[in-house]
Amino acid sequence: MNTYKDIIIIGGGAAGFFAAINIAEQHPEKSVAILERGKEGLQKVKISGGGRCNVTHAEFIPSDLVSNYPRGEKELLGPFHTFMTGDTIAWFEERGVELKIEEDGRMFPVSNSSQTIIDCFLHEAKKHNVEVLYNHSVKSIDARENDFLLDTSQGVFECDKLIIATGSNPKIWKLLENLGHAIVQPVPSLFTFDIKDKRIKDIPGVVAKDVEVKVLGTDLVSEGPLLITHVGMSAPAILKLSAFGAIELAKLNYNFKIEVNFIKQDYEWCLSVLKDSKQEYAKKSVVNTTHFELPKRLWKQLVLASNISETERWADINKSQLEALTLQLTAAQFHVTGKSTFKEEFVTAGGVDLKEINFKTFESKRIPNLYLAGEVINVDAVTGGFNFQNAWTGAYIVSQSIAKS
């Protein structure tokens, strides 16, 4: 016999729990169930933000907040006017979870533990009688005239309203495609660049505080901190490129050249400063007179790459060495040969085509009473808590739409 629930949420992740709790709170009379394929839910929340869960980002103006979404920028503007950062903070605070802001704007639970968020969700789900059915993998979705029929690994379920919150799951995308939805082909977003280069080989851990990076042959450009890693480069300047360039860089098969301006100044200005240094520091070795607040070890590598030896003094270097150093500082080229996973956060670009979702309700334009929230839709963001904010916003609006319908 089929199991009937008024409202079913497929996927017990960030968006799934947030939707279920908000729906159940407003509809104590309705049966609300989450079908989760894993033996536990919220697994991404658990590992998120290096185990601390970067819940959201301290950006309180909707038009600024949307600029962090390479896919979804236009569509999320309206939804953020309904539910965004301040609402997220209040939602958690009202349920006993205090969030704090870090220097770079990322927001975490004060406990510094993602378990706090998980405990909050499990507690709230229980309090509002959300049934969480683990080890229930949804195999097929039949959208009938007035309800849905779901075949799962543990029997058939029926419901009036269905919410898909399955994250980046290819099997569910396939099922949605069979139901008539267009799926934008998924590609990875938020990754680091693999670079084998003498200049950075021996200096992992070094951070240049504010650089500009361009992907040559494209319009992609970003600014921010840059971290040298064991295999290449990371940190916001790189991660932003990986997000905004997710599709373009996939087409290049992750093989391309970047140009780094380590000091965010133009060539002429830099050259004139270095010419002045030739007078000012004439007797000092170039390697040991770090400029532009660059980390010493990085400065040294850029100097050596400019054909200047460890012992050469400013007075000894010629015009072409000076020009070479200027180029290294303002337009150093590196060959990217692949990508690596950024362990703190990664997402998939792609998913249900944004044109097929009504962003006032997060309901499918193709199938009435079917709602979508979180990463299942073609929205993704740069690193910093924005991906979860998309999940909270979509899930909240789904709950409001269901309350109104």
Ligand X SMILES: Cc1cc2nc3c(=O)[nH]c(=O)nc-3n(C[C@H](O)[C@H](O)[C@H](O)COP(=O)(O)OP(=O)(O)OC[C@H]3O[C@@H](n4cnc5c(N)ncnc54)[C@H](O)[C@@H]3O)c2cc1C
Which positions lie near ligand X, rule CB under 6 A?
10-16, 35-38, 41, 43-44, 47-49, 53-54, 137-138, 165-167, 169, 171-172, 344-347, 374-376, 385-388, 391
Q: CB 336 → ligand X: shortest distance, Å?
A: 22
Which of 16, 322 has the CB closer to ligand X? 16
d(CA 351, CA 185): 7
Nearest CB to ligand X, comparing residues 12 and 79: 12
The nearest distance, CB 107 to ligand X, in angstroms, is 9
Region of 264 (left: φ > 0; alpha: ψ -120 to 50; beta: rest) is left
Terminal CA-to-CA distance of the chain, rounded, Å? Answer: 28
Task: Report in angstroms how near the CB of residue 209 gets to ligand X at its nearest.
Answer: 22
* Residue 297 Cβ vs ligand X, minimum distance, rounded to whole Å: 29
CB 53 → ligand X: shortest distance, Å?
A: 6
Q: How far apart are CA 101 and CA 108, in angstroms?
A: 7
Residue 297: partners with Cβ closer than 8 Å, 6 or more residues away: 203, 206
Cβ neighbors of 227 (< 8 A, separation 6 or more) are: 205, 206, 207, 233, 234, 235, 238
Least distance in angstroms from the C-beta of 29 to ligand X? 25
Identity of residue 262: F
Q: Kindly tell me which of 161 and 300 has the beta carbon lying closer to ligand X.
A: 161
Distance separating alpha carbons of residues 5 and 209, to the nearest angstrom:
53
Closer residue to ligand X in complex, CB, 326/348: 348
Rounded Cα distance, 377 and 348, in Å: 10
Q: Residue 256 corresponds to which amino acid?
A: F
3-class secondary structure, 180: coil
Residue 76's DSSP bridge partners are: none
Measuring CA to CA, which residue among 331, 393, 386 is closest to residue 66? 386
Q: Measured from the CB atom, is 44 or 181 closer to ligand X?
A: 44
Among candidate residues 307, 313, 2, 273, the one with its CA nearest the CA of residue 152: 2
What is the closest distance, in whole angstroms, from the C-beta atom of residue 144 to ligand X in the complex? Answer: 19
Tokens of 171: 């099997």
Which amino acid does the sequence have at 67?
Answer: S
Residue number, 44 or 240, with CB nearest to ligand X:
44
Q: Which of 164/303 has CB closer to ligand X?
A: 164
Sign, Cα dihedral of 279, 284, 286, 288? negative
Compute the least distance from the CB of residue 222 to ligand X, in Å. Answer: 19
- Whichever of 52 and 300 has its CB closer to ligand X, that residue is 52
Report the residue number whose CB is nearest to ligand X: 13
Q: Give whichever of 37 and 240 is closer to ligand X, judged by the CB atom.
A: 37
CB of 342 to ligand X, least distance (A): 8
Residue 57 CA to residue 157 CA, distance in Å, equals 37
**CA nearest neighbour of 211 among 332, 98, 296:** 332
Alpha helices in 245-385 (DSSP H): 246-251, 267-280, 296-304, 319-330
- For residue 175, the minimal CB distance to ligand X (Å) is 8
Quote the Cα angle for 106-222-191, to 5°: 65
Question: 114 vs 306, which CB is nearer to ligand X?
Answer: 114
Closest CA to 76 of 358, 359, 371: 359
